[in-house]
A = this chain, B = another copy of it.
Amino acid sequence: MGILIRDVRLLDSAENERTDIYITGDHISGIGREPRGFSADEVIDGSGKTLMPGLINCHTHAYMSLMRNYADDLPFHEWLFGRITPVEDALTPEEAYWGNMLSVIEMIRTGTTTFVDMQMFPKMSVRACADSGMRAVITRGLVGSDRNDEGGRARIAQALEEMEYGREIGANVDFALGPHAIYTCGEDFLRYVGELAAEKDLSLNIHLAETEYEYNTCLSEHGCTPVEYLSGLGFFDRRILLAHCVFLSDGDYSLLRNPNVHVVTNPASNMKLANGFAPVARMLKEGVNVALGTDSAASNNSLNMFTEMRLLTMAQKGAAKDALVLTADETVRIATENGAEAIGRDDLGSIGVGKTADLILIDENCPNLRPVYNMKAACAYSATGYEVSDVLIGGKLVMRNRNLTTIDEEKVYFETGRIAEKYRPGRAVPGK
């Protein structure tokens, strides 16, 4: 299987310089020069288009698109425990599957090719990825009081079972362990999950230091910051994604400056739930790897990495009162290369011969991208995501000329609409 993208602009290239990209199987086999023995099954006209790496959404909960615009303008705890959790508790796995598919549609359409998911419906994220061709790192959200907590152990068993399932059906998925947060997991349970990660050689994915309440509670209960607490449990001895990190002490930065540790910032969610602005500019300056996530559509309320990039750089400049922080270059890097580094996939997040072909084409003939002076600035400041015309994941075209090739969108809209009727605010949340 060979794909040739002819006469395309690369995001990094000088003005008006255009080249040809050759894709063989799942990887880029040539840039500007046809590799030996190449034959094109498909030729894509790249004129008027810019090619960039697919975006990597390092934190979301894909099933929660079912709760998009369901509960807004509320403080964090009322939003989460008063409105969102009751629906989560009532959702069926089949409903979660359709929520996942809705999310995958939005992500592909807006140029995301990999997402890191914390979910609670075993196998449903895997199935959505297998059915759509989407790439993901899937983590079953784990909560529990201690290592003997039956619910906690059952969730861990589901997580491990799901990994088998993912390998069996051959989806584009990796797995990690996802203890939910330090305020929903007891210390002994966290230690147990940490031991299991070491035993199975798995990465970790956790929410950390998202709210001031969490930060202050950790200080009073454990006498240290959330970052210090987690570090003290040995969690930073292996690859870990820390979602949020809005509340940090001066001492936390040196702990985060660790090749195993990757912070995932979620600006929309942090702003909308009134947690404020994560100190991203400072983290970068201190040498911490920062990736980007949208969090769920229940707190964002979209899964669009282009609008997330825009919000990130704007909010950082505004909060720091410094127009030079989070430049367009840095912002794009956070959403691509830094995300690849966070998930340990140096074959993703950049364009080069031998790299995996997770690529997106941006249609330059959109009024908000014109005239074309600087496509990186256009991506960070002007794009809405819907300029993306074509998406390849692992060398497979999952969107071609804005048509999805693997998903029946109407069916997904119908099913998610049906589910929304069941949970519509004002009605009693039905039991399972």
Task: Give the B-binding residues of A (Cβ under 8 A).
Answer: 15, 65-66, 68-70, 72-76, 79, 102, 105-106, 109-110, 267-268, 270-277, 297, 300-304, 307, 310-311, 313-315, 317-324, 327-328, 365, 367-368, 370-375, 377-378, 380-382, 384-386, 409, 413, 416-417, 419-420, 424-425
A327: chain B residues within 8 A (beta carbon): 72-73
A419: chain B residues within 8 A (beta carbon): 371
Q: Is B420 a contact partner of A381 (Cβ separation < 8 A)?
A: no
23 CB contacts below 8 A, A to B, read: A65-B370, A68-B368, A68-B371, A68-B382, A72-B374, A73-B324, A75-B324, A76-B323, A102-B370, A272-B313, A273-B323, A274-B317, A274-B322, A275-B318, A301-B378, A302-B368, A310-B311, A311-B311, A311-B314, A365-B409, A367-B413, A372-B417, A373-B424
Q: Is A321 a contact partner of B374 (Cβ separation < 8 A)?
A: no
Query: In the assembly, what is the distance between CA of A420 and CA of B374, in Å?
Result: 11
Partner pick for A272 among B69, B314, B373, CB 8 A cutoff:
B314
A417: chain B residues within 8 A (beta carbon): 370-372
Q: How far is the CB of A172 from chain B (nearest CB, A)?
A: 20
Q: Is A318 a contact partner of B276 (Cβ separation < 8 A)?
A: yes
Q: Is B73 a contact partner of A323 (Cβ separation < 8 A)?
A: yes
Q: How far is the CB of A382 from chain B (nearest CB, A)?
A: 4
Q: Is B324 a contact partner of A74 (Cβ separation < 8 A)?
A: yes
Partner pick for A74 among B79, B271, B323, B420, CB 8 A cutoff:
B323
A274: chain B residues within 8 A (beta carbon): 317-318, 320-323
Q: Is B372 a contact partner of A420 (Cβ separation < 8 A)?
A: yes
Closest chain B residue to A269, Cβ basis = B314
Known: A272-B381, A274-B323, A323-B76. A66 touches B314 (CB 8 A): no
Q: Is B370 a contact partner of A68 (Cβ separation < 8 A)?
A: yes
Q: Is B270 a contact partner of A371 (Cβ separation < 8 A)?
A: no
A373: chain B residues within 8 A (beta carbon): 68-70, 420, 424-425
Q: Is A385 a contact partner of B382 (Cβ separation < 8 A)?
A: no
Partner pick for A315 among B313, B318, B416, B424, CB 8 A cutoff:
B318
Q: Is B315 a contact partner of A271 (Cβ separation < 8 A)?
A: yes
Closest chain B residue to A425, Cβ basis = B373
Query: In the assembly, what is the distance between CA of A75 and CA of B270, in Å?
Result: 26
Which 6 pairs from chain A and chain B are nearest by CB? A271-B318, A371-B420, A384-B384, A274-B323, A106-B367, A69-B377
Known: A382-B69, A384-B307, A420-B371. A318 touches B277 (CB 8 A): yes
Query: In the assembly, what is the distance between CA of A103 and CA of B221, in Å?
Result: 55
Q: Is B317 a contact partner of A381 (Cβ separation < 8 A)?
A: no
Closest chain B residue to A387, Cβ basis = B386
Q: How far is the CB of A102 from chain B (nearest CB, A)?
A: 6
